Structure 1
Amino acid sequence: MELSDEEIERYSRQIVMDEIGFEGQQKLKNARVTVIGVGGLGSPITQQLVAMGIGTVRIVDRDVVEISNLHRQVLYGDEDVGLSKAEAAHDRLKRINPKVMIEPLTLSINDDTVDEAINNSDVVIDGLDSVSARYSINRACVRLKIPYIFGSAIVTTGSSTSIIPGKTPCLECFQPALKDDEMPKCGTEGVHPAILTTVSSVQVSEAIRIIIGKEPNLANKLFLADVANLDYDKVKIIKQFKCNVCGPDADLTIKKSKRKLIEDICGREGKSVHIISPKENLEINLDKLNNILENDNLEIIRKGELGTTLNYNEKITVSIVTSGVSIIVGALEEKRALEIFSEIIINKLEINPEKVHNEFQKLLKVN
């Protein structure tokens, strides 16, 4: 599609740059970028992409906004607490630039869902904090030949690289065999907002270069930053011949990352948090769900287009997004979290448990 006169004026400060120009702006308008995770990195990434006029931005996040996000996740405010991040981000981004198409998804990223998340993308940008989810994205991008802009940040340090399938090392060439359980988390270690804006800006710059047809600066290089000491560096990374993702003998038809039905993540407000991620996108009918909850006299805290948050009792809150991903805060054990999920999703909504997990009922009894 051609640029309108209004768009030419809106993006005039970019169009005048040799780095982008009129043809480059046209390419941005016709591009589709997927941002996985709309948290500390994803918030400034999506803000910049939308403001710069990327034609379609798909945002993927399973979580809901909580008050501890607000110091660094700049898309959200107090009024968004309890809402799906995908929904709150969509609404904020449309206010920034109504000309851009925003596609919100509430999926949990794993080998079963990743193709739906990145399908038809020109570039995928990483705003994740999960190694297993990153591995799923990396494998899918290599298989589908979609450029993937990796980024990570913790405390005051961060890194980024541009992964071009067939040309550069993939994620597992330089970060193989990592485990989520062994990685530092911002919930316990903390994260400085300045490192998030630093790394996210580098990621956006790389994505723009790829879209307009230029060589990314971080092809075969890893950008490293530490805002505590203002140290910045780039180191060379090398493609590993025996890599089981991008090496010549790699078999990308095999699902490598084992999907977890239930995860115990960093506590919120001093309470335990369990996230339950169904195998399939359950496409929850929220109107039906809300009616059932109200008829059962359960207090709904927030109603949204993509999710509902409720007080299950005085100690436990539950957030359910349209994909069926459920965040249960305050259940002391996995078994109790699974029981609550089963009561609401399986029993009240009459969802086939095999859509959640092939052996859901068995897992429920075991836990």
Structure 2
Amino acid sequence: MKEVIEWLQSRIQGDLLPWADQQSAAHRFGLSYRQVEEMALKNGLLPARYQRNRNMISLQEQIRLFHSRAVVIGCGGLGGYIIEELARLGVGHIVAVDYDVFEEHNLNRQLLATPDFLGMNKVAAAARRVDRLNPSVDLIPVCEAFGSENGRQILAGADIAIDGLDSITVRLELAEACRAENVPLVYGSIAGWYGYVGSQFPGERTLEKIFSDDTGGRGLETELGNPSFTPAVIASLEVAEACKILLGRGTPARKRCLSVDLLDMEFVEIEC
């Protein structure tokens, strides 16, 4: 719409489009915030919220993120931080998958958990959060338990899948579904002071190697618990991996795993 673009160009500060003017354009022309952001980006106008991205992410890369579809499986300790960071980064489509509701024991570490949200579905809380912090991002809540029966359907059309699970069995089912749908997977896990993170591309079987001697279940989290900081660290590493993969930048942690020990502050790379 030429009229919209001309109006946006009249409002820019340098080449930055302030949020107030994005809001005004949406109301003035009867558009969604997402439509306004897409028009701005395509015409070389950077929404001011992304100005601190620009020295490391080009305008064309910001457009790529805007059109990317990330599926986050699990919206708890890891997943809440992952969703938050993806939305702030500008990833335009986020599919949030979780069947669970918030309980009081989630309050110590889960970003989306608040006393007001106790009993609420985690994906509903994720949708509220994203709508408040970046309304140009389309968050699709899927209130289901991920598994082999629905995994491929949930992953259809995804550019990246990001693991926020606490079940080894379901994590392996996720890896299999990603292979079937040709979707790269960023995986991570946490327990107490410890965690790990890595990436698996279609055709690879890194997770099967990691868990070759495991009998399944929820892993060490039930034994060691989790503080507030471990999910934030591992989730941030996962989002960094996802960003690199979506943009085709850097060196993903393929066929290797980063083991994180926050108690002794040791980071060890393990070949897989």
- Shorter-chain-normalised TM-score: which range? 0.7 to 0.9
Query: For 1:25 and 1:90, how far apart are their aligned partners in 2?
Result: 22
2:97 corresponds in structure 1 to 60
Structure 1 pair 44–33 and aligned structure 2 pair: CA distance change class (3 A) = same
Shift of 1:7: 4.8
| Shift in CA distance, 153/104, structure 1 to aligned 2, threshold 3 Å | same
**Candidates 233, 241, 245, aligned match of 1:198:** 233
Q: SS in structure 2 opposite 1:129?
A: coil
TM-score (norm 1): 0.61
Quote the RMSD (CA, aligned, Å): 1.7
1:9 to partner: Cα distance: 1.4
- Match 1:163 to one of 156, 175, 200: 200
**Per-residue displacement from partner, 1:80-118 (whole Å, max 9, x unpaired)?**
000111101111121111110000001111110111221
Map 1:230-309 → 2, pairs under 5 A: 230-237=265-272
Give the percent of matched residue pairs that are identical in Structure 1 and Structure 2. Answer: 28
Give the Cα separation in 1 of the matches to 2:129 and 2:239. 19
Residue 41 of structure 1 corresponds to which residue in structure 2?
78
Which residue number in structure 1 is paired with residue 189 of structure 2? 152
Say yes or no: does 1:180 pair with 2:187. no
The answer as to whether partners of 2:206 and 2:255 remain within 8 angstroms in 1 is no
Return the alpha-carbon distance in structure 1 between the equivalents of residues 67 and 97 of structure 2: 20
Counterpart contact for 1:225–1:232, Cα < 8 Å:
yes
- Show the counterpart of 2:120: 83
Q: Is the 8 A contact 2:161 2:184 kept in 1?
A: yes
Whether 2:258 is the aligned partner of 1:223: answer: yes
The superposition leaves residues 31-51 of structure 1 with CA deviations (integer Å, 9 ceiling, x where unpaired) of 000000011111111100001
The letter for the 1-side match of 2:246 is I
**Secondary structure of 1:218's match?**
coil
Could you list the per-position Cα deviations for residues 330-362 of structure 1 after superposition, in whole angstroms to 9, with x for gaps in the alignment? xxxxxxxxxxxxxxxxxxxxxxxxxxxxxxxxx
User: What is the alpha-carbon distance in structure 2 between the residues aligned to residue 182 and residue 100 of structure 1?
Assistant: 31
Partner of 1:210: 245
Cα shift at 1:176: 2.2
8 Å Cα contact 1:107/1:117 also seen in 2: no
User: Separation in 1 of the partners of 2:218 and 2:76?
Assistant: 21
1:6 to partner: Cα distance: 7.1
The offset of 1:207, in angstroms, is 0.3
Q: What are the within-5 Å matches in structure 2 for residues 104-143 of structure 1?
A: 104-143=141-180
Structure showing greater radius of gyration is 1
Contact 1:76 1:89 in 2 (8 A): no
Which blocks of at least 5 consecutive residues in structure 1 are unaligned? 238-367
Q: Which runs of 5+ in 2 are unaligned?
A: 1-37
Which has the larger share of helix?
2
* 1:138–1:170 CA contact under 8 A, matched in 2: no
2:188–2:235 CA contact under 8 A, matched in 1? yes
Which letter does structure 1 place at the counterpart of 2:173?
Answer: S
Q: Would the alpha carbon gap of residues 15 and 83 (structure 1) be closer, same or farther in structure 2, given more than 3 Å must change?
A: same
Q: Which residue of 2 aligns with 1:335?
A: none
CA pair 64-77 structure 1, distance change in 2 beyond 3 A? same
2:168–2:218 Cα contact (<8 Å) kept: no
Deviation (angstroms), 1:156: 0.6
Contact 1:28-1:211 at 8 Å conserved across structures: yes
Q: CA deviation at 1:177?
A: 5.1
- How much has 1:202 moved relative to structure 2? 0.7
Asked if the contact 2:99–2:143 (Cα under 8 Å) also holds between the matched residues in 1, the reply is yes
TM-score, normalised to structure 2, is: 0.81
| 1:9–1:40 Cα change, 3 Å | same
The number of aligned residues is: 233
Partner SS state of residue 199, structure 1: helix
Q: Secondary structure at the match of 2:208?
A: helix
| C-alpha deviation, 1:76, in angstroms | 2.0
Kept in 2: contact 1:61–1:107 (CA 8 A):
yes
Q: Distance in 1 between matches of 2:218 and 2:189?
A: 15
- The CA deviation at 1:184 is 2.5
Aligned mates of 1:3, 1:206 — CA distance in 2: 27
Match of 1:94 in 2: 131
Contact 2:152/2:180, CA 8 A, preserved across alignment: no
